[in-house]
């Protein structure tokens, strides 16, 4: 491959990964693999400088702001840092500083928190605006979501008239682990790492959702101050701490060799930190010296970020265990001899499914190479067959559920093996927790820990049992008491009127989530009518395909499901639809919403469309009927224009629903 062609392909690949990482918070590759692609592109551009273009990923920062948020121009650009990957590169940075700075200079070393970079603006000590980094020059206004961050002060004492500071929003390891535990119990895909979880939470359009994620923030720079300027970075950090900001821990050193010792120490102590870190930052301390050094088109010359390489270690598989999830899926996990990996002790690693085990040809007794996916979830990368002991046999997942003994079947549409019994004990807790969750019956105070107590005590063995609970029995549970029990009883009574759409979602029928539940509730209006529907009737409904229809009919045919429904009926749970369907004027039409709407929230607009028989989609295609475009509409609007799809304003939409 010639250099020009490889450069073009690398740029396209890096831009794609930039968008996945910065804009959609769903990266496909690790940070290390991304860094290696970037290093290759930098090397080629250094060899062929005539091929460097202004739009190369090496010449810019981050990704474009999302169109759903107001765009904010940063008064001071939020630059990124040049990455280094070896001690030799650190010493080279130190040598450059020695040659460029004739006078003595000191360095500041800080941990590099793996989160989402933001700028915060204060006027007379009051927090007035916060924005993401975006492309470094323009970011997204996430002020309301930032107000929900517990560690962010909304007012500071002894502040200058105007102050702009920069920090990193992150999700603590403990909050992240608890969130993943809840997602696993609810049969949801696990989040890869705290950084993606934090970024996705901060970009929620509803601040209430962001608040539930319990984000934190740590500050590491003063971008602008109208007060007396500081002489050093260390002095500015101390000033921020005195103002009440949570500030990054730092140490100051006279030479680059001492910096290296600190970086190695930070790397070995990573597990003791409450936040995830992917490196360490080395900066010149004197701010006048920084100004003299200046910046390149992309990054300051006075700082670098040392990136720790992903750790991979070998261990021996001593067993393979199988867990059963809420939806009955069997997930194999390798139990390995404990090893220290990326700051924590690892004794188990995910194997995903039987297909992955076959691909690895993994057996009990094998020596395997383990890495943390996203530096959080341990997974087996490969098998060292040269160390395989004699007498090992290929591993097969069981034909029967390890929890209840029921027959296991393979999904027709995937690699998953699934227990067929809805009464499986392993699924019981997960089913009850899902039934009570926010997207389902939304029973306040019935989180996973309370569900677990109810199940373990024998008070609840199915979702219907919740509505027959006695206050005194619940009050006797650990960490409950009479007041909590009474509040739970009130929440349960309130949930009885949640309506058919929420109830259908709570049932946990495969492929019937919130959207499909609403569609079914609007169409059938009552649970009894839906129960009489056959596959043909169901597939005539938009968004309900033959596979989903089959799952619905199958679920309603099971005796356990019918028993659950009757007990819910006897308890007074409402089986009627609360989804108002006004008329069918939008029947057969698909709307895509993009940009910032003024008269409606997106959820409100979507609910109106559905009430008139239409549906919404997150992506534009030839099947799209209308694109409702608000302010700062982005790529969806461009695509709609290229496909010739009708574009309507909020005023047009308002006239359509009169």
Active site amino acids? 112
DSSP 618: S
DSSP 486: H
DSSP for 386-455, written as a single string:
GGPPTT-------SB-TTT--BEEE-TTSS-EEE--TT-HHHHHHHHHHHHSTTTT--TT--HHHHHHHH
The whole-angstrom separation of Cα 507 and Cα 558 is: 13
3-state secondary structure string, 533-551?
Answer: CCHHHHHCCCCCCHHHHHH
Enter the tokens of residue 63.
């990704």
SS3 of residue 24 by DSSP: coil
* Percent of the chain as helix, strand, coil, to the nearest 5: 40, 20, 40
The whole-angstrom separation of Cα 287 and Cα 264 is: 26
DSSP for 94-151, written as a single string:
HHHHHHH--S---EEEEEEE-SEEEEEEEETTEEEEEEE-TTSSEEEB-HHHHTT-TT
Radius of gyration in angstroms for the set of CA atoms belonging to the chain, rounded to a whole number: 28
Give the largest CA-CA distance in the chain.
85
- Phi, psi (rounded to 5 degrees) for 325: -85, 180
**Are 139 and 71 a contacting pair, CB within 8 Å?**
yes
Enter the tokens of residue 523.
């169409």
Q: Which residues contact 631 (CB under 8 A, 6 or more apart)?
A: 70, 595, 596, 598
The whole-angstrom separation of Cα 408 and Cα 329 is: 9
The whole-angstrom separation of Cα 193 and Cα 276 is: 9
The whole-angstrom separation of Cα 360 and Cα 363 is: 9
The whole-angstrom separation of Cα 182 and Cα 170 is: 19
Neighbour order of strands in the sheet with 216-225: 126-132, 116-123, 162-170, 216-225
SS3 of residue 642 by DSSP: helix
CA-to-CA dists, residue 151 to 147, 211, 239, 420, angstroms: 10, 12, 17, 46
The whole-angstrom separation of Cα 487 and Cα 483 is: 6
């Amino acid at each position: 491959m010639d250099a020009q062609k490889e450069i073009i392909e690398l740029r396209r690949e890096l831009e794609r990964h930039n968008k996945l990482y910065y804009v959609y918070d769903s990266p496909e590759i690790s940070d290390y693999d991304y860094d290696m692609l970037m290093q290759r592109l930098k090397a080629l551009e250094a060899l062929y400088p005539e091929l460097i273009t202004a739009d190369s990923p090496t010449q810019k920062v981050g990704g474009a702001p999302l169109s759903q948020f107001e765009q904010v121009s940063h008064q001071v650009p939020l630059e990124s840092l040049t990455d280094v990957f070896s001690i030799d590169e650190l010493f080279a940075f130190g040598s450059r500083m020695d040659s460029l700075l004739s006078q003595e200079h000191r360095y500041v070393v800080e941990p590099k928190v793996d989160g989402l970079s933001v700028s915060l603006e204060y006027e007379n000590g009051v927090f007035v605006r916060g924005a993401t980094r975006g492309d470094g020059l323009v970011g997204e206004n996430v002020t309301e979501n930032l107000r929900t961050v517990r560690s962010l002060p909304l007012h500071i004492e002894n502040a200058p008239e105007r102050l702009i500071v920069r920090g990193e929003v992150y999700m603590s390891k403990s909050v992240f682990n608890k969130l993943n535990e809840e997602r696993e119990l609810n049969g949801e895909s696990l989040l890869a790492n705290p950084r993606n979880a934090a970024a996705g939470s901060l970009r929620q359009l509803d601040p209430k959702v962001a608040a539930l994620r319990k984000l934190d923030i740590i500050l590491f720079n003063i971008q602008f101050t109208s007060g007396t300027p500081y002489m050093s970075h260390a002095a500015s950090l101390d000033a921020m701490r005195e103002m009440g900001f949570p500030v990054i821990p730092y140490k100051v050193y006279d030479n680059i060799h001492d910096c290296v010792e600190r970086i190695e120490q930070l790397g070995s102590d990573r597990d003791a930190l409450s936040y995830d870190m992917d490196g360490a930052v080395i900066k010149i301390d004197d701010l006048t010296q920084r100004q003299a050094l200046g910046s390149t088109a992309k990054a300051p010359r006075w700082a670098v970020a040392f990136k720790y390489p992903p750790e991979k270690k070998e261990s021996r598989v001593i067993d393979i265990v199988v867990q059963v999830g809420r939806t009955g899926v069997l997930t194999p996990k390798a139990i390995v001899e404990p090893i220290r990996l990326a700051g924590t002790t690892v004794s188990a690693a995910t194997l995903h499914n039987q297909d992955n085990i076959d691909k690895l040809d993994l057996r009990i007794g094998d020596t395997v190479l383990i890495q943390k996916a996203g530096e959080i979830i341990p997974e087996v990368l490969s098998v060292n067959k040269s160390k395989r002991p004699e007498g090992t046999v290929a591993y097969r997942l069981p034909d029967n559920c390890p929890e209840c003994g029921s027959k296991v079947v393979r999904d027709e549409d995937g690699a998953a093996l699934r227990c067929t019994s809805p009464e499986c004990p392993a699924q019981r807790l997960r089913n009850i927790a899902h039934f009570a969750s926010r997207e389902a019956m939304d029973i306040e105070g019935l989180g996973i820990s309370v569900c677990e107590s109810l199940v373990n005590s024998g008070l609840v063995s199915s979702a219907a049992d919740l509505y027959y609970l006695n206050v005194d029995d619940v009050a006797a549970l650990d960490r409950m008491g009479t007041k909590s029990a009474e509040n739970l009883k009130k929440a349960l009574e309130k949930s009885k009127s949640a309506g058919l759409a929420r109830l259908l979602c709570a049932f946990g029928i495969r492929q019937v989530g919130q959207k499909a539940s609403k569609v079914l509730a609007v169409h059938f209006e009552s649970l009894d009518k839906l129960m009489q529907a056959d596959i043909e009737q169901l597939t005539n409904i938009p968004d309900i395909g033959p596979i989903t229809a089959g799952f619905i009919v199958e679920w309603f045919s099971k005796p356990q499901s019918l028993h659950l429904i009757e007990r819910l009926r006897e308890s007074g749970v409402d089986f009627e639809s609360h989804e108002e369907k006004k008329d069918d004027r939008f029947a057969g039409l698909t709307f895509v919403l993009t940009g910032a709407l003024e008269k409606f929230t997106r959820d409100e607009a979507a609910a109106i469309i559905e009430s008139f028989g239409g549906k919404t989609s997150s992506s534009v295609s030839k099947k799209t009927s209308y694109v409702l475009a608000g302010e700062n509409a982005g790529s969806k609007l461009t695509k709609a224009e290229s496909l010739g799809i009708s574009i309507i304003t909020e005023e047009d939409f308002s006239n359509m629903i009169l």
